[in-house]
């Protein structure tokens, strides 16, 4: 490593699954080791995502059945507390969406990367078998992430970005937009579709609106009405409240028809059956989250009598991260930064993120 780099750094470190007190700020954390295939990144900004909250609290454990709250759960199983169903190594620096400048490289990484501004691809591949989704880890979960002054990533898990956007703006994209694009590609969304987006004011939801519009689809976005003003210019063809009492009627009034061809859902919970019931024959339901609760009721008759297709989406194909960088560089998607916090105030940042009065994304600056 260059002599100019410090020996220690600021980092927010998770020590166990639990509430906010499970993680704390350190100003003397050891610098990360740079492996032969790694690049060392001086982090300029790191976005917040539910996965950091879910991993901290242990919400992914199958023993937890409640909605995401961000608080500690009493019933987390030590066997399956992470997204991938396996325990993660502690202490862990979380933070999925790091953006920064490469300041050093390992022996196998090109020195051309030094000085380049990069975004991190959340999906850490096994590069001897990169298409194998069972051999993936998540940045900030199976490997230390971006809630620190410096982080490392495999040279094949960073993308050089040529953009006028700030680091904080770029740090809103990786997790949410690759997830949203993965959902739309699993549901094969195209210009003939009418897509109903739930949780549309959040990170993945606002990405779903923009990326579905990019594909030429008509988009109906559902979100709290207090957030509609900020959402109006995202491109949605119609905005509906979070959970209209009569969704068919609300759709008919908004777009002149009471069905849609695709539901892109990140909310789940008690309203699940209602969104399924507005799918037209042959409709597709695609899901990558369940912020209102993972356990839902389904009338199987609606599913099979209407010839519906359900797709889950988490580990996205490798090309999606590169595609996203292209969309950013060409200005086809734009960020929705809500608020930034210093890294040392990550707990406050996460509480604001959990309170959900914001629209878009929250970012910390180391």
Ligand X SMILES: NC(=O)c1ccc[n+]([C@@H]2O[C@H](COP(=O)([O-])OP(=O)(O)OC[C@H]3O[C@@H](n4cnc5c(N)ncnc54)[C@H](OP(=O)(O)O)[C@@H]3O)[C@@H](O)[C@H]2O)c1
Chain residues in the site for ligand X (CB under 6 A): 49-51, 54, 67-68, 175-176, 179, 199, 201-205, 223-224, 227, 242, 266-267, 269, 288-292, 314, 356
Nearest distance from residue 354's CB to ligand X, in Å? 8
Smallest gap, in angstroms, from Cβ of residue 207 to ligand X? 8
CA–CA gap between residue 290 and residue 83 (Å, rounded): 13
Q: Which is nearer to ligand X, 54 or 151 (CB)?
A: 54
Q: How near is the Cβ of 297 to ligand X at its closest, in Å?
A: 15
Nearer to ligand X, 106 or 270 (CB): 270
Report the residue number, 9 or 96, with the smaller CB distance to ligand X. 96
30/9 Cα distance (integer angstroms): 6
Residue number with CB closer to ligand X (9 or 222): 222
Structure tokens at 175: 């997790």
Instruction: Give the bridge partners for 150, in sequence order.
Output: 42
Minimum CB separation of residue 4 from ligand X in Å reads 36
Q: Which is nearer to ligand X, 63 or 224 (CB)?
A: 224
**Any residues with CB less than 8 A from the CB of 139 and at least 6 apart, and which?**
95, 96, 98, 120, 121, 122, 123, 124, 145, 146, 153, 157
Question: Helix crossing, 174-186 with 319-329: angle to 10°?
Answer: 110
Give the gyration radius of the chain's Cα atoms.
Answer: 20
Least Cβ distance, residue 29 to ligand X (angstroms): 26
DSSP code per residue over 298-326 = --HHHHHHTT-EEEE--S--THHHHHHHH
Q: Least Å distance between CB 176 and ligand X? A: 5
Residue in the shown chain whose Cβ atom is closest to ligand X: 202
Q: Tell me whether residue 135 or residue 356 sits nearer to ligand X (CB atom).
A: 356
In the complex, what is the shortest distance from the CB of residue 31 to ligand X, in angstroms, rounded to a whole number?
A: 29
219 bridge partner residues = 195
By C-beta, is 135 or 242 nearer to ligand X?
242
Closest CB to ligand X among residues 224, 345: 224
CB of 177 to ligand X, least distance (A): 10
Q: Which residues contact 16 (CB under 8 A, 6 or more apart)?
A: 22, 90
> What token pair was written down for 133?
């989704």
Tokens found for residue 128: 């001897």
Which lies closer to ligand X via its Cβ, residue 100 or residue 360? 360
| Tokens encoding 252 | 């008919």
Burial of residue 232 (number of CB atoms within 10 Å: 0-12, 13-18, 19+):
exposed
Residue number with CB closer to ligand X (57 or 288): 288
Q: Which residues pair with 39 in a beta bridge?
A: 105, 153
Q: What is the enclosing helix (H) or strand (E) of 230? A: helix 228-231
Question: Would you say 148 and 9 are in contact if contact means Cβ atoms under 8 Å apart?
Answer: yes
In angstroms, give the least distance from the CB of 114 to ligand X. Answer: 31
What is the smallest separation between the CB atom of 323 and ligand X, expressed in angstroms? Answer: 16
Pick from 136, 120, 130, 132: which is nearest to 86 by CA? Answer: 136
Residue 229's Cβ-count burial label (10 Å; 0-12, 13-18, 19+) is exposed
């Amino acid at each position: 490593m260059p002599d100019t780099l410090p020996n220690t750094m600021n980092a927010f470190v998770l020590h166990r699954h639990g509430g906010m007190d499970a993680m704390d700020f350190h100003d003397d954390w050891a610098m990360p080791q740079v492996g032969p295939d790694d690049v060392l990144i001086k982090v300029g900004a790191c976005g917040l995502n539910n996965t950091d909250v879910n991993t901290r609290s242990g919400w992914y454990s199958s023993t937890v059945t409640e909605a995401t709250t961000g608080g500690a759960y009493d019933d987390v199983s030590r066997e399956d507390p992470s997204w991938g169903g396996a325990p993660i190594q502690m202490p862990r620096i979380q933070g999925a969406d790091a953006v920064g400048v490469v300041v050093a490289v390992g022996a196998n990484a090109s020195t051309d990367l030094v000085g380049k501004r990069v975004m991190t691809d959340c999906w850490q591949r096994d590069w001897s078998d990169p298409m194998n989704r069972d051999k993936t880890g998540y940045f900030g979960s199976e490997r230390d992430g971006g809630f620190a002054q410096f982080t490392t990533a495999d040279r094949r898990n960073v993308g050089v970005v040529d953009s006028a956007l700030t680091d904080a703006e770029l740090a809103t994209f990786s997790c949410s937009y690759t997830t949203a694009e993965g959902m739309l590609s699993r549901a094969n969304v195209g210009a003939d579709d009418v897509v109903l987006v739930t949780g549309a004011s959040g990170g993945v939801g606002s990405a779903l609106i923009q990326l579905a519009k990019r594909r030429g689809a008509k988009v109906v976005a559902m979100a709290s009405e207090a957030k509609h003003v900020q959402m109006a210019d995202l491109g949605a063809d119609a905005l509906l409240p979070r959970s209209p009492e009569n969704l068919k009627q609300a759709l008919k009034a908004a777009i002149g028809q009471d069905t849609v061809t695709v539901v892109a859902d990140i909310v789940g919970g008690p309203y699940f059956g209602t969104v399924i019931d507005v799918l037209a024959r042959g409709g597709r339901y695609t899901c990558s989250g369940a912020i209102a609760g993972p356990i839902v009721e389904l009338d199987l008759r609606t599913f099979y009598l209407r010839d519906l297709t359900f797709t889950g989406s988490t580990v996205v194909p490798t090309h999606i991260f590169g595609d996203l960088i292209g969309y950013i560089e060409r200005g086809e998607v734009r960020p929705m930064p809500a608020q930034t916090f210093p890294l040392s105030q990550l707990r406050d940042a996460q509480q604001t993120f959990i309170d959900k009065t914001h629209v878009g994304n929250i970012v910390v600056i180391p």
